[in-house]
Structure 1
Amino acid sequence: MRLVRRGVVGVWLTVMALAGCHGDKDKGPSQAGGAGGPGGPGGGAGGGQPLAVEVIQVQPGPVRDTGEYIGTLISRRSITLYPQVNGYVKRIAVRPGEQVKRGQLLLEVDPRIGRAGVQSAQAQRSSALAQRQFARSTRQRAEQLLKEGLLSRQDYEQSVSQAAAAEASARSAEAQVELQQVELGFYQVTAPFDGVVGNIPVKVGDYVTQQVALTSVDQSRALELSVSVPPERAAEVKPGTTQVDVLNMEGKPVVRAPVFFVAPTPNANTQLVELKAVFDNNEVGLLAGQVVHVEVEYAVRESLRLPTYAVSQQSSQFFATVVTEGDGGGQVAQRVPVQLGALQDNYYEVLKGLEQGATVAVGALQSLRDGQPVQPKPARPRGEESGVGGAADAGTATPGDGGTRRPDAGTDAGTDAGTSGGG
């Protein structure tokens, strides 16, 4: 019986203790927590020490008006080689992609027909020279006989005419020999200038004619860039001033050149206007025929800019946290909606929402709340750092016209700030 009573007493004490705990919760924080609770001294947002945050001042900077397109590189010295004679391919002296010098042998067509032609012409020349010599001697004898009165004037004039014909025949034979020697040189296909050999579609033993392409030679030392843009944008291009950048796979410019040509009319099929620029390719290493990403810089203007790590995002609305004077003195954080433009070099263009010289927080954006006391301090240099505590990835790259990234900036100033950092 004593054990039963002790068990009942223990259960009763436990129930009373739990009831006391629930009672403390119903009394509220001020009664349960006493002076040390969140509402007491040192608690809440208004009673703590100001939060130290890094800040910058919004200042204008260069903003480039650009468009991103696809361009093609063209060699300013490129040639496709065709044989100037018909025949069988006897020898191929180079390989595709090989660097060659001017005059270097590339391919040889069987020259036996050409050699036979030279020998025939030489034989005809020898005969013509002999006939010319005989005609000259005959004319000299006729002249002497005419002086002695032993030859008529008609016979003398006939010998002079024969000598002139033999002279002309000899000159024709000599010219024929030179022609055959030139044609014999056509059996050897050589490089017209220093460059790189292209594809060689023929092989030894193939019969080629003057319409069969043998190979090509390209010189990539000077390349021409061809890019097509919309007509409305082409009207903004100034030859000699508008710059074009060739971009690598990471989107970084590898070479810049001014536009020197703007087509006077759009292409009939694409309705785009062709632009051309030329640059020295010695240190760039690009290839003729290569398709590249191109950025055309139409203009550069000054505008307010905000680094990506100073931007937070709630849904489609972007915000900046401004440090301003509080009602009770001191400085507090205030989140304001902003409308942003293009993203370039880790900076957004500020279209609306901030004034020049405004102090903006760039640190601790995740923990800042509206009205929270802050202690601003100059931001440390961040260099090329991007996307720190902000909406660095808010925009999407748009190829073609307007190649810079532009976030979908909302304009509803009453949107709740929510969480920062793209929360």
Structure 2
Amino acid sequence: MIRSTLTPRAWRALAATGLAAAVALAVAGCDSRAQDSAMPPPPEVGVAAVLSEPVQDWNDATGRVSAVESVELRPRVSGYVQRVAYAEGDEVEQGDLLFVIDPRPYRAALQRAEAELARARADAQLATTRHTRAQSLVEASAISRDDFEARTAGRAEADAAVRAAQAAVETARLDLSFTEVRAPVAGRAGRAMLTTGNLAQADSSLLTTVVSQDPVHVYFETDERTFLRHQAMARAGTRSNGQNAVRVGLADETGYPHAGTVDFLDNQVDPTTGTVRARAVLPNPDRRFTPGLFARVQLEGAAARPAILIDDKAVITDQDRKFVYVVGEGNTAQRRDIVPGRIVEGLRVVESGLAAGDRVIVNGVQKVFMPGMPVAPAEVAMRGGKPVDKAVATR
């Protein structure tokens, strides 16, 4: 056995020295790992160049769809409904038969009027014969002048009776025709308010309604500023095709897929609301519009102007401010405060804060924690945010 010649005090000093060295090595290793973990690679973000395109300003409004022609169908003669001649809710053409009112009383009245006309014509023929005979007699002084004038008046009275009888026949024939109630306009017929066997009162009982289908009207309200601006556009001749263009969307639609024009502006502004009523006309070949539907309306604003457009996902809110991150020198994220405008064709208009050529971070904005942070940009399209094929982009 080899004996150690170190004293206990020396052993304690040596142990303390070794422990200190071990602690120092451990601390150095932890510090190295901490430094390694504090320097992660730059985050990958999608970057798109801002778009500079002409945009058309639109003014938003809400309105209601209305039929161009809407008729409440009421009978012109009284009688019991004999037949409902259409299917409720179907489209009908102008002149189609909808209701039949019992025609028998009116057919009898026509026959009676025709009989009265025949008697009046017979009386008129007799009066004419008497007048002719009286004329020859008076020339021969066989009758007095008073008798001749009486027969002349009798002929005139008989002629008037014929004309009255003819008018009665026309009235009876017209009443008979009114027993067939026909569609006054083409459109969609509503529910039959009176069915077979019910009494229809002339000019009061509602039979059904008929509303036209194509085109349709959309009524909406616009404010004074918009009204004055469009009046100025009309005077300057800068409206589309000489008319105010509109775009319309329904409650279940995205955007404004239907186009039309304003064909009417009211003749005064409502002083209580500061708005003026307007009407747009739109084609409706596929029957998408139904009278009474709510409609979102955009009215054409000023003439097209150049604008900066970005994807709305790139916009960040900081209390009352809006900003975006652009990629600057050395692939670092730089903050740019902006003044955003309205959405146009799915992109946000930037009124100020950006210029043509700026590259905005669109995808992965949440990965940027502070301005000046390095990023790894990847080119994407501003519309849709999809990666750009470099081979295609450089053609």
TM-score by length of 2: 0.78
Q: CA–CA distance in 2 between the matches of 1:367 and 1:231?
A: 46
1:397 alignment counterpart: none
Q: How far is 1:314 from its partner?
A: 5.5
Q: Which amino acid aligns with 2:29?
A: A
Matched with 2:358 is 358
Residues 31-69 of structure 1: CA distance to partner in whole angstroms, max 9, x if unpaired?
Answer: 2258x75647xx865xx8776654333343344443433
Q: For the residues of structure 1 that align with 2:255 and 2:193, how far apart are their CA atoms?
A: 37
How far 1:228 moved relative to its partner?
Answer: 0.9
Q: Is 2:249 the partner of 1:252?
A: no
Residues in 2 aligned to 1:360 and 1:133: alpha-carbon distance in whole angstroms: 102
Is the contact made by 1:96 and 1:198 (CA closer than 8 Å) also made in structure 2?
yes
The one-character-per-residue Cα deviations of 1:113-172 (angstroms, maximum 9, x if unpaired) are 322321221221121111112112222222333444433333333222222221221222
Q: Does residue 270 of structure 2 align to residue 267 of structure 1?
A: yes
Question: Once superposed, what is the RMSD of the aligned Cα atoms?
Answer: 3.3
The 1:321/1:87 distance shift into structure 2, 3 A limit, reads same
Aligned counterpart, 1:88: 80
Secondary structure at the counterpart of residue 220 of structure 1: coil
Letter in 2 for 1:120: R
Question: What is the TM-score of this pair, normalised by structure 1?
Answer: 0.73
Structure 1 SS opposite 2:71: strand
1:168 counterpart SS class: helix
CA apart distance, 1:227: 0.3
Mind listing any 5+ residue stretches in structure 1 that lack a counterpart?
A: 1-15, 387-423
Deviations 1:234-261 (A, max 9, x none): 2223464432211132332231122232
How far 1:211 moved relative to its partner? 1.7
The amino acid of 2:333's aligned partner reads: A
Equivalent position of 2:183 in the other structure: 191
1:103 counterpart letter in structure 2: G
2:198 maps to which residue? 206
Deviations 1:391-422 (A, max 9, x none): xxxxxxxxxxxxxxxxxxxxxxxxxxxxxxxx
1:307 positional shift: 1.4
Structure 2 unaligned blocks of 5 or more: 1-15, 235-241, 387-395
Residue 12 of structure 2 corresponds to which residue in structure 1? none
Shift of 1:179: 1.4
Match of 1:216 among 205, 209, 212: 209
Q: Does the CA contact (< 8 Å) of 1:67 and 1:297 recur in 2?
A: yes
- Aligned residues of 2:46 and 2:385 also touching (Cα < 8 A): no
| Structure 2 residue 305 is the aligned partner of structure 1 residue 301 | yes
Partner of 2:129: 137
**What is the 5 A alignment of 1:7-406?**
23=23, 27=27, 31-32=28-29, 37=33, 39=35, 45=39, 54-209=46-201, 210-238=203-231, 240-248=242-250, 249-267=252-270, 270-283=273-286, 285-299=288-302, 300-313=304-317, 317-325=321-329, 330-368=330-368, 370-374=371-375, 376=377, 379-381=379-381, 383-385=383-385
Equivalence for 2:391: none
Distance, in Å, in 1 between the alignment partners of 2:264 and 2:75 is 34
Aligned equivalents of 2:270 and 2:22: distance in 1? 82
SS in 2 for 1:106: strand
Quick one: higher RCO (CA 8 Å, sep 6+), 1 or 2? Answer: 2
Structure 1 distance, partners of 2:271, 2:319, is 43
Does the 8 Å contact 1:90/1:110 carry over to 2? yes
Instruction: State the 1:177 CA deviation.
Output: 0.9
